[in-house]
Structure 1
Amino acid sequence: MLTLDDLLIIQGDFRLSAEFSLPTGSAVAVLGPSGAGKSTLLSVIGGFFAPRSGRVLWQGNDITDVAPAKRPAAHLFQDNNLFPHMTAAQNIALGIKPNLRLSVEDKRAVQDAFEATGLSGLGDRSPSQLSGGQQSRVALARVLVQRHPLVLLDEPFSALGPAMRKEMTTLAREVGAKTGATMLMVSHDLADAQAFADHVVWVADGVAHAPRTWAQVEADPPTGYRDYVGH
C-alpha cells in the first residue's frame, strides 16, 4: 500500500497537501487543471523532489528520504527516455542491468517483455527506426522488466494520436494487472484516464484528494471537476 501521510509540498508560492492511501494493485488516474501539481505529486512519490513535511510510506515503511533508484518505483515519462545509440532490446535491458550483462534469465525476461508489449522482431532496431507508438511500447517494456510494485506514469502517451493513446493506456493497464503493480498515471485526457484507471485522485486548489471510483466522482464531483470535463 502507498500512503501519503500528512504530506505538504511547497515550491515557491505553490503548495499542495495530500493525506491518503492507495490499495496495492490499484490503477489510479491523477487528474486536475494545468499547474495544479499532478506531476509534482508524482515527483515526490518517486523521490525526485522532497516534501516540506509529512511522509511517503510503502507497505508501512517510510521511504521519504530514500533515493529514487532505491525506491520500489518505476517511472515512465512523456519523452520515453530512450537512448538513441542503443537498440530497442538494449533500451529494455537497461531496466534490468545498466551494464547490459544479462544472464539467461535476464534475456528471457527481455523477450517476455517484447512479447507482452507487441514488439516481437523489433529488438535490433534503434529508436529512430521505430514509430512513436513503438517507442512508447519499448519504454513500457523497460518498466515491465524492472518488476517494481509501484509504477508512476507522467503523461507518457500524450504525444501520440488519440487511437494510439487509447491502445497504449489499455496496454499499460493490462501490464499493471499482469504484474500486480500499483500504478498512478497523470493525464489531461479523460478518455485515456477512464481506459486506464479504476480510481481517481483529483488535484486542485492546493489539495490532492483521496482516491475515489469513477462512480463516486460522477455522483459527487469535487469542486472544478465539471468544468474540467466540460459538463
Structure 2
Amino acid sequence: MADGLGLSNVTIHRGETCLLSVDTHINRGEALTIMGPSGSGKSTLLSYITGSLDLAFKAAGSVTLDGEEIDTKPAHLRQIGILFQDDLLFPHMSVGANLSFGLDRSIPRVERKDRINAALDSVGLAGFFDRDPATLSGGQRARVSLMRTLLSDPKALLLDEPFSRLDQDLRQQVRELVFNHAKAQSLPVLLVTHDMDDAQAAGGAILRLDR
C-alpha cells in the first residue's frame, strides 16, 4: 500500500441511516477536503479515524496510515494529529507547559524545552514559553495549538473546521501557516469544512457530501 492516509470503503451509520461512504487515499504532502452541511457526518468521520467515535454511531471500513491498518488500534497509538474549532489550550498552564503535552515523555527535560522554544520560534512566538494563554491573541493561540499538535510527531493531520472562528484576515494567515507546516512535514491532510475558501487554500481534491 502507498504511504499516506487511506480510507477504504469507510461507512458511517446512525441507526439505519448511512451518513456517508468514503473510499479514498491521501498521499503524503497532499490534502483532501470533505465538504457538506451540518449532520452529513464530516466530523464523525474524523472521530472514526482518530479512534474516538461516539457509541451512537457505527462505522465500518479500513483506515490505513503508511500502509498499516490503524482502525483497530487504541487512539493514542494511531499517530493522528487533529485541530478543532477551539484551540483547547489548558488555561492553568503556561504556553510552554501546553506545548510539552505534544512531546514524548521519554525526551529529557532540557531537550524538551529546546524543542518547544524552536517550535515557538518557527511560528513567530519566540520568548513565549512562560506566557499565560489568557494573554494571547486568537492568532497566537491558533499557532500554539498547531505546534502542540505537530510536536506530537503525527503521521497525518486532520482539520475539523479549525479556521471557522477566526476573522477573515486572521483566517487567511492561519490557513497558510497550517498548510505550509503540514506540507513541510509531508503530512497527508484531511480537512472538513463548509467554506470553499478553506478548501481552495488546502489545495487538492474536494469531496462533496450530499446530505
**Taking structure 1 as the reference length, what is the TM-score of the superposition?**
0.81
d(CA) in 2 for partners of 1:185, 1:119: 25
Match of 1:185 in 2: 191
Q: In structure 2, do the counterparts of structure 1 residues 197 and 13 end up closer, same or farther at CA, with 3 Å as the change threshold?
A: farther
Match of 1:174 in 2: 180
Deviation by residue 1:139-160 (Cα, 9 ceiling, x = unmatched)? 0010121121101111112111
1:27 deviation in Å? Answer: 2.0
1:97 deviation in Å? Answer: 4.0
> Partner of 1:44: helix, strand, or coil?
helix
Match of 2:101 in 1: 94
Kindly report structure 1 stretches of 4+ aligned residues shifted beyond 4 Å. none
* Worse-superposed segment, 145-154 or 46-55: 46-55
1:120 deviation in Å? Answer: 1.4
1:176 deviation in Å? Answer: 0.6
* Worse-superposed segment, 29-38 or 145-154: 29-38
Q: In structure 2, do the counterparts of structure 1 residues 145 and 163 end up closer, same or farther at CA, with 3 Å as the change threshold?
A: same
* Worse-superposed segment, 71-80 or 23-32: 23-32
Match of 2:75 in 1: 68
Q: Where do 5+ consecutive residues of structure 2 fail to align?
A: none
Q: In structure 2, do the counterparts of structure 1 residues 103 and 41 end up closer, same or farther at CA, with 3 Å as the change threshold?
A: same
Deviation by residue 1:55-99 (Cα, 9 ceiling, x = unmatched)? 111122211111111102111111111100001111111100469
d(CA) in 1 for partners of 2:166, 2:119: 21
Contact 2:7 2:25 in 1 (8 A): yes
Counterpart selection for 2:36 from 25, 32, 35: 32
Superposition map of 1:66-215 within 5 A:
66-97=73-104, 102-205=108-211
Match of 2:15 in 1: 12
Contact 1:7 1:51 in 2 (8 A): no
Deviation by residue 1:171-222 (Cα, 9 ceiling, x = unmatched)? 00111111111111222221122122322232224xxxxxxxxxxxxxxxxx
d(CA) in 1 for partners of 2:58, 2:118: 37
Deviation by residue 1:109-132 (Cα, 9 ceiling, x = unmatched)? 211210122211222111111111
Match of 1:219 in 2: none
d(CA) in 1 for partners of 2:202, 2:26: 16
The number of aligned residues is: 204
**Taking structure 2 as the reference length, what is the TM-score of the superposition?**
0.89
How large is the Cα RMSD of the aligned pairs?
Answer: 1.9
Superposition map of 1:209-224 within 5 A:
none
- Matched residues, percent identical? 37
